[in-house]
C-alpha cells in the first residue's frame, strides 16, 4: 500500500492551448479514498490519467510511496483502474477477465485460481464465472471491472467515473459496495467523478477542482459546513447554496442585505472577525435547507411568494420570489411533502448562525480557519 | 378521463408489406440474370453429353465419373491446394504485420497507403506482363540479377521450370494481394474499441500478450471473412497463370480454373468442364458453410 | 407572474386534444416489452414516465413517434388516430436518449435541422433568436459553431434537448433528457424546462429512471415497470400512496425498506411479525390488518422513519453497521440485521460509526405501508 503525492503537477495537452492542470499539490494518504470532484473540463480526469500513466506530465512529479513514477509506463506502476465504460475484454469470460491481470504478470496457476475464486465469491459471481461479458448489464460489467482491479491487491486503485453509466438502484448499490471493498481491503484509491453525491458517499476526503486549479481538499462534511470559497459553496449541496451580496452595516455588529431589505445581526465573534479583516463587501451564502419558511409573519421576516414548487419525495424545494423591486429569487428546501403551492405568499427568516460569509472580491470564505 | 379507442384495433391498416421487396427487386433481378441463370445452366450441362458445342444426351453422372478418373483433375486440385496453402497464410502474416506497423502511426502514412494499393489496383493482365518481363528468360531484371546469380534456374525463364514455376506464381500472388490484406486489417485495427487496450496497459500486459490475447480475438471475425475471401479467390486463380505459364510447363501450374478453360476451349469437352465447375462450387459451398458454423459458435460473429 | 400561478394545470383540458394511447402492446421476439399501456396527456401537461432501465420507456416513446409499430393498441394525437401515419407526418418531437446528432452539422445546424426539414430549407423569422435563447438557457451558447464530435456527452445531450425544444410539435417526447448533466444544471433545467413546457399547447412526456426527477417535473407521474403501467397519479399520490412495492422502490433517496412477514392480531392490537422483529401497527393500519390476518404481507418503511439506538435499547432491533454515508444535510446508514437483510436509515445528523459495529434501530410509531404478500400491491 502506498501514499500518492502530486508535486507541482501541471499538464498542457498541446502547446498554445490552456493548461488542463495547473501546479497541483495533493497527497492521498495510505488506505484513503480521495475523490477528485469538479465540473467537466476541470482537470480531474487529466490528473487521474497522469497518475495511471496513460498521460505524460508536462511538469512536476508524482510519487507512489515516496518513489517517483512519472517515467514508468502504466503497467509497471502496480496500479489498477476502473473505467467509466468498464473496458472489459469482450472476448473473455467473467473469470478470464478477472484473471487477466494475474496471468499477464505470470502468477502461478494455483495462486491465480485461488485469487479469482475469492474475488468471484466476494462479488457473488461464482455461478456466472464462465459467461461471456458482453451481454451483461452495466452494473454487472462494472462489478467485474472492480473484481479485476482488486484481484492483484494493487498499491492504488483509480476509479474513473465508475458509476456514471449506471442507473438509480444499481448506482446506490454499487457505490456502497465499492466503499465497503475499499475500506475492508484498505487499498489507497482515487475516485474521479462529477457527481457530488457519489463523492460524498464514497470518499474520505474530496478535492474540488475548477479550471485545472485545486480549490479545496477536505472531508465531505467540512466541505458542506465550511466551503473555502464561493465556487465550492455553490458546487457542494443540492439544491445549490443561495448567494446574495451584502455589506458591513453602519449599525455595529450587523450586515446589510439589500435584496432582502434586511439588516442582520451577526454576533460578537463575527463582528470582531469582520473588523479585523476590514472587509466591507460581502457575499452571504445560505443553504436552501437552512432557510426558514413560514405562513405567518414573524418579527423581521421577509415577504415572498412561491413561484415554483418541486416535490422531491421526503422534501419539497421551493423557488421563492422576494417581494422587492428586482424580483430576486431564493431556493428553500423543506421536509415534505408540504402543503405549499405555487402562488402562495410566505414569510422567510434567515437564521444568522447558519449564514456563510464570503469576501466579495477574493470570493474566499472569511471564516475558513474556524 | 376518457380515452379514445378505435373500434377494431386488430384491423388497423398494415403498412404495405410488398414495399421492402420492391426496393431490393432490381438487385435481385440483376443477380438472378447475371449469376443464377448461368450457374443453373452449368449444372444442366454437367449432366449432359456436351462435346464440340452440341448438347445431346442426358447422361447422369458420367461427366463426374470421367472427371474423377481424370489425373489432370487431381493434379489441378493439388496445384490449387499448394497455391492456397502457401500464398494465403503468408499474405495473412505479412498483411497483419504491415497493418500493425501502419496503425502505430508511421510517418507519411497518407502517401504510403495509396502506394500500397497499386499492386491490387493493377489489372491482372498488366501484373502478368510486368512479371513476365521482370522474370523473362535470362535477361529480365530479376532473372539476371537474382535467379541466375544464385543459380536457381539457369538459361531459361523460371516459368519454364517444372520445379519452380508454381512458386514463382505464388510469389506474384503474394506481391499482388498482401497490400490489400494489410489495408483491410489496418481498417479493422482502427475500428477496434480502445477501452480494453487502456485496461490492458494498466493491467501490465506486454505487447505480445496484447496482440495474442486481445487484438487477435477481437479481430477474429474480420480475419475470418478476409481469409475466406482470399481462400476462394486464390483457389480460383486464373488470370496471372494464364498470362504467365498457361498451366505449364506440362501441368505444373494448371489450376482448376485453367483446367476448366482448357477442357472447354482447347478440347471442347463442355460437359466435363461444367462438372468441374460444379464440383469446385460444391467444395466452396461446403467449406463456407463449415467455416460459417464454426465462426458462429466460436467467435459470436455474424 | 400569472403564468407561474397556473403552473399546476389539472386535467380539465380534454385529453383527446393532446396525446392518448390505449391498449398499446409490443413484442420483440419472445419478450412482451410493452403490455397493454394506456395513458393520456393533455396539452400543456407534463407526464413524467418513470421506470428502471429496460422497463420499456424508450420503446413506448418510439411507438408514439411512429418509429416502432405496435402489435396492438391505438395512438391518438390531437384527436386523430395516427396508427397509419408515417413518423414524419406525426410531427412528434422525440429527443433520443442516444442523442442521434448529425455528425457533419454544427450544433446550431443540428438544432434547426427539424425546422429546416419541415420548411424546405427556409427558416422562419425569430428562429435564430429562439435558438440563441435555448443555447443560453442550456449553457452551451459558446458551442454553437462546433461539431458534435468536439462535444462531451453532457453537451451533446443538451444539443439534442435544444433540438427537441425548438420545435412546435404535436407532442414532445423527452427520453432521459438530463441524465448526463451535473447536479446543479439538472436542478436548474428541471425547473426551467418544466415551466417552459407548461406554457406550451402540446403535451409532453419526460421519461427518466430517476424517481425523484419524475416527481419534480411531472404534473402527473406514470410508473412503468416491466412494460406495464403500475400507477399513474400526481406526485403526491405516488409518494403518499405508492400502488405497489415496485413503485415504492423507485421513489425516495434511498428507496423504501421492505420487509416480508406476517400479520397477527392479539385482541385489539395488531402486529407485523417479520424476521426477528415484531412491530405494533398503528390503528389506521390495524383495521386493514384484521381483514388480512395471518396472511403474508410486505411492510414498507421509509428510511427517514427509522432511528438508530443504543445496543439493547427497548424495542430495538439488533443489527451491524454495513456502511455509513455522510451527505452533509443528512446521512444514510446501512445496517445488516441478524436475518441478513439490509436496512437503510436516513438521519439528519452524521454520527461516526465503525463498520461492523453492533447497534440497534427502532421502527417509528407510524408511516408504515402494507403491501399484499402475493401481488405486492398496496392494501387499502
Looking at the structure of chain B, the number of domains it has is 1
A104 pLDDT higher than 70: yes
Q: What confidence score (pLDDT) does residue A80 get?
A: 92
Out of C72, C76, C84, closest to residue B4 by CB: C76
Q: How many CB atoms lie within 10 A of CB C291?
A: 9
Does B84 fall in a domain? Answer: yes
Name the residue with cell 399513474.
C232
Q: How confident is the model at residue A203, as a pLDDT? A: 92
Domain-embedded: residue B116:
yes
pLDDT, tens only, C215-226: 999 999 999 999
Segments in chain B forming alpha helices (H): 19-31, 37-46, 62-68, 71-103, 109-116, 118-121, 124-134, 141-142, 165-190, 195-203, 207-210, 216-235, 239-244, 256-261, 270-299
Alpha helix segments (H runs only) across C144-280: 153-165, 183-198, 211-217, 235-240, 245-250
* C364 touches A at CB < 8 Å: no
Chain centroid to CA C310 = 37
**d(Cα C286, Cα C267) in Å, to the nearest integer?**
11
- In this complex, the residue of B195, B198, B204 whose CB is nearest that of residue A105 is B204
Full set of structural domains in chain C with CATH: 2-241 (3.40.50.300), 257-372 (2.40.50.140)
A351 and A215 Cβ atoms separated by less than 8 Å: no
pLDDT in tens, C334-344: 998 888 888 99
How many beta-carbon pairs under 8 angstroms link A with C? 112
Q: What is the pLDDT of residues A128-157, one digit of tens each?
A: 889 888 878 888 899 899 999 999 889 899
Query: Quick one: what percent of chain A has pLDDT higher than 70?
Result: 99
Give B233-275 pLDDT, tens digit per residue: 888 888 888 888 887 787 888 888 888 888 888 888 888 888 8
For position C110, what pLDDT does the model report? 92
Tell me whether residues A169 and C249 touch, CB distance under 8 A. Answer: yes
Q: How far apart are CA A112 and CA C224, in angstroms?
A: 44
Using the predicted structure, report yes or no on whether residue C60 has a pLDDT greater than 60: yes
Mode of pairing for the β-strands spanning C296-301 and C257-266: antiparallel
Pairing, β A188-193 against β A156-160 = parallel
Transcribe C139-179 into DSSP letters: T-GGGTTS-GGGS-HHHHHHHHHHHHHTS--SEEEEESTTT
B12 with C74: Cβ contact below 8 A: yes
User: Which among A238, A313, A314 is the nearest to C183, CB-wise?
Assistant: A238
Q: What is the DSSP string of C39-105?
A: EEE-TT-EEEEE--TTSSHHHHHHHHHTSS--SEEEEEETTEE-TTS-HHHHTEEEE-TT----TTS
Cβ atoms within 10 Å, residue B245: 24
Element (H, E) at A292: strand A292-294
What are the Cα distances from residue C333, in Å, to A85, A113, A122, C253?
A: 29, 35, 22, 12
The CATH code of the domain that includes B106 is: 1.10.3720.10
Q: Which three cell numbers stand for residue B231?
A: 481462400
Pairing status of strand A156-160 against strand A79-82: parallel
Q: How many Cβ pairs closer than 8 A exist between chain A and B? A: 68
pLDDT of residue A94 exceeding 90, the answer is yes
Nearest to B175 by CA among B132, B137, B222, B118: B118
Question: Could you say which DSSP state residue C277 is in?
Answer: E
Q: Which of C38, C69, C72 sits opposite B10 (nearest CB)?
A: C72
Residue B5 forms part of a structural domain: no
Apex C137 CA angle, C134 and C140, nearest 5: 80
Mean of the per-residue pLDDT values for chain C? Answer: 85
Which chain A residue's Cα is nearest to B205? A104
* pLDDT greater than 80 at residue A239: yes
What mean pLDDT is predicted for residues A166-183? Answer: 82
* Structure-block grid coordinates of residue A356: 456563510
B239 close to B124: Cβ distance less than 8 angstroms: yes
Are C8 and A311 inside 8 Å of each other by CB?
no
Residue C111, pLDDT above cutoff 70? yes
State the best of B7, B8, B9 to mutate against chain C, taking most chain C CBs within 10 Å.
B9
Interface of C with A in 297-326 (CB under 8 A): 302, 304, 322-323, 325-326
Structural domains of chain A, ranges and CATH numbers in brackets: 4-225 (3.40.50.300), 242-359 (2.40.50.140)
Spell out a b/e string for C184-210, using b for 16 or more CB atoms within 10 Å of the CB, else e: bebbbbbbebbbebbebebbbbbbbbb
Residue % of chain A over a pLDDT of 90: 50
pLDDT at C289: 62
In this structure, is residue B12 part of a structural domain?
A: no
Q: Between chains, do A100 and B217 touch, taking CB under 8 Å as contact?
A: no
Looking at the domain assignment, is residue B279 inside a domain?
no
- B213 part of a folded domain: yes
In a structure prediction context, what are the per-residue pLDDT tens digits for chain B, which is 302 residues long?
333 333 333 334 445 567 788 888 999 899 888 888 888 888 888 888 777 777 777 788 888 888 888 888 888 889 999 999 999 999 999 999 999 988 887 788 888 888 888 888 888 888 888 888 887 776 777 776 677 667 666 667 777 777 788 888 899 899 989 999 998 999 999 888 888 998 998 888 888 899 998 899 888 888 888 888 888 888 888 888 888 888 778 788 888 888 888 888 888 888 888 888 888 888 888 988 888 888 777 765 54
Which chains have 3+ CB pairs within 8 A of B? A, C
DSSP string, B139-156: TSHHIIIIIITTTSS-SS
Measured between alpha carbons, how far is C238 from C258 in angstroms, rounded to an integer?
17
**What pLDDT was estimated at residue B5?**
37
β-partners of residue B269 are: B51
Q: Report pLDDT for B245.
A: 83
Give the Cβ contact number of residue C119 at 10 Å: 12
Preceding peptide of C254 cis, ω within 30°:
yes
For residue C136, what is its C-alpha cell? 443560453
Comparing CB atoms, the residue among C152, C154, C323 nearest residue A176 is C323
Residues paired with residue C80 on neighbouring β-strands, in sequence order:
C77
pLDDT, residue C9, reads 39
| Listed residue (C137, C129, C154) closest to C189, CA to CA | C137
pLDDT for res B299: 64
* Contact across the interface for C355 and A197, Cβ inside 8 Å: no
Chain C residues with CB-CB distance to B2 below 8 A: 14-16
Q: What confidence tier does A360 reach under pLDDT thresholds 50, 70, 90?
A: very high
Q: Nearest Cβ partner of C23 from B1, B2, B9?
A: B9
Residue of A nearest to C327 (CA): A200
Evaluate the omega torsion of the peptide bond into residue A239 and state whether it is cis, within 30 degrees of 0: yes
Distances (CA, A) of A232 to A161, A196, A280, A366: 20, 11, 22, 14
Q: Determine the Cα–Cα distance for residues A133 and A120; give it in Å rounded to an integer.
A: 14
- Which 8-state DSSP code applies to residue B263? I
B295 touches chain A (CB under 8 A): no
Q: What is the pLDDT of residues A72-88, one digit of tens each?
A: 988 888 899 999 888 99
Give the span between the Cα atoms of B212 and B220, in whole angstroms.
11
**Contact C328/A180, CB-based, under 8 Å?**
no
Give Cα separations from C267 to C264, C271, C286, C292 (angstroms): 10, 11, 11, 15
Residue B160 covered by a domain: yes
Question: Which residues are CB-neighbours of C119 under 8 A, at least 6 positions away?
Answer: none
- Write out chain C residues lying below 8 Å of A84, CB-based: none
**CA of B200, closest CA in chain A: separation in Å?**
8
Can you give the pLDDT at residue C153?
Answer: 80
Q: Are strands A33-37 and A188-193 parallel, antiparallel or unpaired?
A: parallel
Using DSSP, state whether C336 is helix, strand or coil: strand
Mutate which of A17, A310, A327, A329 to disrupt the C interface (most C C-beta within 10 Å)? A310
| Residues in Cβ contact with A245 at an 8 Å cutoff, skipping those fewer than 6 apart | A257, A258, A259, A281, A282, A283, A284, A360
What pLDDT is recorded for position B13? 44
* Range(s) of the domain holding residue B95: 70-268
C-alpha cell at position B55: 448438347
Cα–Cα distance between A50 and C336 in angstroms, integer? 39
Is C329 in Cβ contact with A237 (below 8 Å)? yes
Looking at residue B300, its pLDDT comes to 58
Q: Flag whether B85 is in a domain.
A: yes
Chain C nearest-CA residue for B16: C84
Answer yes or no: is pLDDT of A48 > 90: yes
Q: Please report which residue ranges of chain A form alpha helices under DSSP H.
A: 44-52, 94-104, 109-123, 138-150, 168-185, 196-202, 220-225, 230-235, 268-277
Task: Look at B202 and A53 and tell me if their CB atoms are within 8 Å.
Answer: yes
Which pLDDT score is estimated for C364? 76
pLDDT for A1 equals 54
Q: Record the cell numbers describing residue A308, joined without a space.
A: 415554483
CB-CB under 8 Å, A76 with B201: no
**C-chain residues within 8 Å CB-CB of B10?**
72
What is the predicted pLDDT for the residue at C13?
43
Q: Which helix (H) or strand (E) holds C137?
A: helix C127-137
What is the predicted pLDDT for the residue at B155? 65
User: With an 8 Å Cβ cutoff, is C258 touching chain A?
Assistant: no
Model confidence at C11: pLDDT above 80: no
Cβ distance A289 to C329 less than 8 Å, yes or no, reads yes
Amino acid at each position: 500500500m502506498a501514499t500518492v503525492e502530486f508535486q507541482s503537477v501541471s499538464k498542457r495537452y498541446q502547446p498554445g492551448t490552456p493548461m488542463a492542470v495547473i501546479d497541483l499539490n495533493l497527497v492521498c494518504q495510505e488506505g484513503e479514498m480521495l475523490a477528485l470532484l469538479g465540473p467537466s473540463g476541470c482537470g480531474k480526469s487529466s490528473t487521474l490519467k497522469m497518475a495511471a500513466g496513460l498521460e505524460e506530465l508536462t511538469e512536476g512529479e508524482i510519487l507512489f510511496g515516496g518513489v517517483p513514477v512519472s517515467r514508468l509506463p502504466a503497467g509497471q506502476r502496480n496500479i489498477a483502474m476502473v473505467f467509466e465504460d468498464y473496458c472489459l475484454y469482450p472476448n473473455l469470460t467473467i473469470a478470464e477477465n478477472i484473471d487477466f491481470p494475474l496471468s499477464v504478470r505470470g502468477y502461478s496457476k494455483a495462486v491465480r485460481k485461488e485469487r479469482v475464486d475469492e474475488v468471484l465469491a466476494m462479488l457473488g459471481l461464482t455461478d456466472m464465472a464462465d459467461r461471456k461479458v458482453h451481454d451483461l448489464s452495466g452494473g454487472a460489467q462494472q462489478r467485474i471491472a472492480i473484481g479485476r482491479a482488486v484481484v492483484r491487491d494493487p498499491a492504488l486503485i483509480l476509479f474513473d467515473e465508475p458509476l456514471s453509466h449506471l442507473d438509480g438502484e444499481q448506482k446506490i448499490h454499487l457505490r456502497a459496495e465499492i466503499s465497503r471493498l475499499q475500506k475492508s481491503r484498505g487499498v489507497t484509491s482515487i475516485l474521479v467523478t462529477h457527481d457530488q453525491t457519489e463523492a460524498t458517499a464514497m470518499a474520505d476526503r474530496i478535492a474540488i477542482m475548477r479550471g485545472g486549479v485545486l480549490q479545496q481538499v477536505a472531508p465531505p462534511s467540512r466541505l458542506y459546513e465550511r466551503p473555502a470559497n464561493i465556487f465550492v459553496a455553490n458546487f457542494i449541496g443540492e439544491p445549490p447554496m443561495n448567494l446574495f451580496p451584502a455589506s458591513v452595516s453602519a449599525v455595529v455588529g450587523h450586515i446589510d442585505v439589500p435584496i432582502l431589505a434586511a439588516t442582520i445581526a451577526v454576533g460578537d465573534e463575527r463582528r470582531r472577525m469582520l473588523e479585523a479583516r476590514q472587509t466591507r463587501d460581502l457575499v452571504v451564502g445560505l443553504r436552501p435547507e437552512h432557510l426558514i419558511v413560514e405562513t405567518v409573519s414573524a418579527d423581521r421576516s421577509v415577504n415572498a411568494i412561491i413561484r415554483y414548487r418541486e416535490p422531491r419525495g421526503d422534501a419539497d424545494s421551493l423557488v421563492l420570489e422576494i417581494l422587492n423591486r428586482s424580483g430576486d429569487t431564493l431556493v428553500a428546501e423543506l421536509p415534505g411533502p408540504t402543503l405549499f403551492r405555487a402562488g402562495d405568499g410566505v414569510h422567510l427568516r434567515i437564521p444568522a448562525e447558519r449564514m456563510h460569509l464570503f469576501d466579495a472580491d477574493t470570493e474566499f470564505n472569511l471564516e475558513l480557519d474556524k | 378521463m376518457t380515452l379514445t379507442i378505435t373500434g377494431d384495433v386488430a384491423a388497423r391498416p398494415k403498412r404495405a408489406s410488398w414495399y421492402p421487396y420492391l426496393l431490393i427487386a432490381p438487385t435481385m433481378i440483376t443477380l438472378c440474370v447475371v449469376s443464377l441463370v448461368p450457374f443453373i445452366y452449368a449444372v444442366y450441362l454437367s449432366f449432359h453429353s456436351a462435346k464440340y458445342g452440341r448438347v445431346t444426351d442426358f447422361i447422369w453422372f458420367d461427366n463426374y465419373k470421367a472427371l474423377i478418373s481424370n489425373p489432370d483433375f487431381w493434379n489441378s486440385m493439388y496445384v490449387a491446394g499448394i497455391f492456397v496453402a502457401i500464398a494465403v497464410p503468408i499474405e495473412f502474416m505479412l498483411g497483419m504485420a504491415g497493418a500493425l506497423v501502419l496503425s502505430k502511426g508511421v510517418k507519411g502514412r497518407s502517401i504510403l497507403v495509396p502506394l500500397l494499393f497499386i499492386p491490387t489496383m493493377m489489372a491482372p493482365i498488366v501484373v502478368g506482363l510486368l512479371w513476365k518481363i521482370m522474370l523473362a528468360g535470362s535477361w529480365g531484371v530479376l532473372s539476371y540479377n537474382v535467379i541466375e546469380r544464385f543459380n536457381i534456374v539457369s538459361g531459361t525463364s523460371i516459368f519454364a521450370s517444372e520445379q519452380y514455376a508454381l512458386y514463382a506464381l505464388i510469389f506474384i500472388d503474394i506481391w499482388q494481394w498482401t497490400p490489400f490484406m494489410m489495408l483491410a486489417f489496418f481498417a479493422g485495427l482502427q475500428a477496434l474499441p480502445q477501452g480494453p487496450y487502456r485496461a490492458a496497459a494498466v493491467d501490465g500486459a506486454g505487447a505480445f500478450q496484447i496482440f495474442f490475447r486481445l487484438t487477435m480475438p477481437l479481430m477474429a471475425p474480420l480475419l475470418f471473412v478476409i481469409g475466406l475471401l482470399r481462400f476462394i479467390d486464390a483457389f480460383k486463380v486464373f488470370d496471372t497463370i494464364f498470362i504467365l505459364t498457361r498451366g505449364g510447363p506440362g501441368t505444373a501450374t494448371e489450376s482448376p480454373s485453367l483446367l476448366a478453360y482448357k477442357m472447354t476451349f482447347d478440347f471442347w469437352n463442355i460437359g466435363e468442364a461444367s462438372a468441374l465447375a460444379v464440383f469446385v462450387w460444391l467444395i466452396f459451398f461446403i467449406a463456407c458453410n463449415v467455416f460459417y458454423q464454426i465462426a458462429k459458435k466460436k467467435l459470436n460473429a455474424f | 407572474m400569472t403564468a407561474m400561478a397556473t403552473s399546476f394545470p389539472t386535467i380539465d383540458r380534454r385529453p383527446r386534444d393532446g396525446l392518448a394511447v390505449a391498449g398499446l402492446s409490443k413484442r420483440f421476439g419472445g419478450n412482451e416489452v410493452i403490455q397493454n399501456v394506456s395513458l393520456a396527456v393533455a396539452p400543456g401537461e407534463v407526464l413524467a414516465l418513470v421506470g428502471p432501465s429496460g422497463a420499456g420507456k424508450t420503446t413506448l416513446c418510439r411507438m408514439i413517434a411512429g418509429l416502432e409499430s405496435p402489435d396492438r393498441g391505438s395512438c391518438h394525437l390531437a384527436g386523430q388516430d395516427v396508427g397509419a401515419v408515417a413518423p414524419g407526418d406525426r410531427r412528434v418531437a422525440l429527443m433520443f436518449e442516444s442523442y442521434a446528432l448529425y455528425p457533419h452539422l454544427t450544433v446550431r445546424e443540428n438544432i434547426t435541422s427539424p425546422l429546416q426539414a419541415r420548411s424546405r430549407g427556409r427558416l422562419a423569422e425569430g428562429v435564430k433568436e429562439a435558438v440563441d435563447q435555448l443555447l443560453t438557457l442550456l449553457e452551451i451558447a459558446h458551442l454553437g459553431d462546433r461539431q458534435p464530435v468536439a462535444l462531451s456527452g453532457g453537451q451533446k445531450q443538451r444539443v439534442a434537448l435544444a433540438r427537441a425544444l425548438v420545435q412546435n410539435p404535436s407532442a414532445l417526447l423527452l427520453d432521459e433528457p438530463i441524465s448526463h448533466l451535473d447536479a446543479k444544471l439538472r436542478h436548474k433545467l428541471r425547473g426551467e424546462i418544466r415551466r417552459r413546457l407548461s406554457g406550451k399547447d402540446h403535451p409532453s412526456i419526460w421519461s427518466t429512471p430517476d424517481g425523484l426527477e419524475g416527481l419534480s417535473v411531472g404534473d402527473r407521474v406514470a410508473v412503468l415497470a416491466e412494460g406495464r403501467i403500475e400507477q399513474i397519479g400526481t406526485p403526491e399520490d405516488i409518494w403518499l400512496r405508492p400502488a405497489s412495492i415496485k413503485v415504492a422502490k423507485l421513489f425516495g433517496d434511498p428507496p423504501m425498506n421492505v420487509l416480508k412477514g406476517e400479520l397477527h392480531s392479539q385482541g385489539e392490537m395488531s402486529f407485523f411479525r417479520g424476521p426477528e422483529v415484531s412491530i405494533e401497527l398503528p390503528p389506521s393500519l390495524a383495521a386493514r390488518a384484521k381483514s388480512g390476518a395471518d396472511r403474508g404481507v410486505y411492510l414498507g418503511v421509509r428510511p427517514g422513519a427509522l432511528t438508530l439506538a443504543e445496543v439493547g435499547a427497548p424495542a430495538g432491533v439488533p443489527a451491524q453497521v454495513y456502511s455509513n454515508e455522510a451527505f452533509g444535510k443528512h446521512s444514510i446508514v446501512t445496517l445488516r440485521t441478524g436475518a441478513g437483510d439490509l436496512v437503510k436509515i436516513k438521519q439528519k445528523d452524521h454520527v461516526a460509526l465503525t463498520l461492523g459495529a453492533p447497534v440497534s434501530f427502532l421502527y417509528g410509531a407510524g408511516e408504515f405501508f402494507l403491501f399484499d404478500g402475493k401481488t405486492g400491491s398496496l392494501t387499502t
